[in-house]
Amino acid sequence: MKSTGAGSTARMRALLAAAAALMAVAIGCRDEIAHYRVPKGSEAPGAGLAMPASMGGKPASDVPAPPQPTGGSALHWTLPARWTESRGGSAMRYATLKAPVNGRLDVSVTVLPGEAGGELANVNRWRGQIGLPNLDEGTLAAARRPVETKAGVVSLYDFTSEGTQRSRVVAGLALVEGNTWFIKMTGEAPAVEKAHADFLRIVESLRLDAAN
């Protein structure tokens, strides 16, 4: 009986020692995780990007409302067949238009108060988005295509990048009642080409109605 008790005590001590070792390992791992820091100046991919509500981001109700025209009127347009539009969902857009074409394509309507930085600055920003160099005042005038609409003259621009996988931007701007309106289509050059005629019809249909 004495021998059995001694054996039990020895086994108990062995179990306690093993348990203590496991606890030390667990504590050490926890401390390593707790004290890990991202080096200053570096961020994980995607840091700072908003996530959809379905992925733990802000719900749609928390997205700031898009800029609104400051006057008593707003631009309206007529959509071609099978085009759709949506409002809201972005702090920078008045509306998003969707064309029935395949490929990467984005069509947006934006309104900002005043001159919004000026025509030259905005055109060069669009060109920079597809890797093209800046224009100056002289070449800006040569690239401009005035389009007469019921809302006034829209300055329309059309640029295509170089290379095998070309991008294209077609965009117009108009100063209406103290606001600058932008209507812009950008994406893969083949997709932009398919939607180009309809996009021009949208620009030509612009009119000024009472703001909603």
Report the phi/psi class of residue 13: left, alpha or beta, with left for phi > 0 and alpha for psi in -120 to 50.
Answer: alpha
Average pLDDT over residues 76-98: 90
Average pLDDT over residues 30-37: 31
Q: Which residues contact 153 (CB under 8 A, 6 or more apart)?
A: 146, 147, 174
pTM of full prediction above 0.85: no
- Asked whether the predicted pLDDT for residue 58 surpasses 50, the reply is no
pLDDT value for 32: 32
- Asked whether the predicted pLDDT for residue 11 surpasses 70, the reply is no
What the block records as the tokens of 210 is 């009472």
Q: Which residues contact 73 (CB under 8 A, 6 or more apart)?
A: 176, 177, 208, 209, 210, 211
User: Could you tell me the domains of the chain?
Assistant: 64-210 (2.60.120.1690)
Percent of the chain with pLDDT over 90: 56
**Which of these ranges, 3-12, 59-68, 131-140, 146-155, has the smallest mean pLDDT?**
59-68
Confidence of residue 33 (pLDDT cuts 50, 70, 90): very low
128: exposed, middle or buried (Cβ count in 10 Å: 0-12, 13-18, 19+): exposed
